[in-house]
Chain A
Amino acid sequence: MALSFPARYRATGIFLAIAGFLCLWVASWEGLINVYRIILPGRTLPDGAYPYPANFWDINAAFGMVSACMLTVGAAMVFLAKEPDEYFYKLRLESIQFAVIAQFVVGLIAFAYFYFTPGYQIENTFQGILGLACGTFLAAYVLRYYANSYFKADQD
């Protein structure tokens, strides 16, 4: 595996991918405005409303792009890191197969939900469905891999 990274990058990759995913989720929901509320509480109006600052959308867009980069780099580090031995390579393959199936099923269920629930424009839900499916892939992969490699391998 000449193109693989050393195994020590895996832990960093998992952290980066999870942090990137969470930050991307915050950026998607304009959650940064809550950070503004904490940092600049003086801008709160008497009725409790908080007007968006002029530079909010630029910062939110930059935050979203940095988060997406973190997620991509983290995922690459996880999937390209070397494994300790042949058993872990098999485990990685099995985990990827499991995660792909989970991603497909969750994506399909999400699509069916938005398609059959009144009030949704299906064109506006694609990004959310893709995000949910990608998140499912990552979570399913990590859970399956670590559940099999550490929790089911009893010490003797």
Chain B
Amino acid sequence: MKLENTLRIERAVRRMTQAELAERVDVSRQAINAIETGKFIPSAVLAIKLARVFGKPVEDIFILTEDAIPAEVKE
């Protein structure tokens, strides 16, 4: 399963550190780091919180890549 995200880019655009973002969504800095590096897939609640910080829809921040979609769903 591959769920990519643009958190690092969005942070860079806003010159925001991992710690600042973590504080905004009330999680640890390690959690933000793990999400950015793809080691941890956040819950729906956390994903929505993160998207709200950047003022974008969740689908713009978290992108499900093609190889993650099962063949039967594609058909």
Contacts and interface: CB of A to CB of B under 8 A. Distances in A.
**Binding partners A and B:** yes
A149 B27 contact: no
Contacts of A87: 27-28, 30-31, 34-35, 40, 42
A84 B23 CA distance: 12
A56 interface: no
Interface of B is mostly: helix
Interface centre among B8, B11, B28, B30 (most CB of A within 10 A): B30
A76 B46 CA distance: 29
A128 B29 CA distance: 41
Contacts of B40: 87, 90
A88 B31 CA distance: 8
Contact of B33 (A86, A88, A156): A156
Given A155-B18, A156-B18, A86 B43 contact: yes
A153 B46 CA distance: 19
Interface of A: 84-88, 90, 149-150, 153-156
Interface of B: 8, 11, 17-19, 26-31, 33-36, 40, 42-43, 46
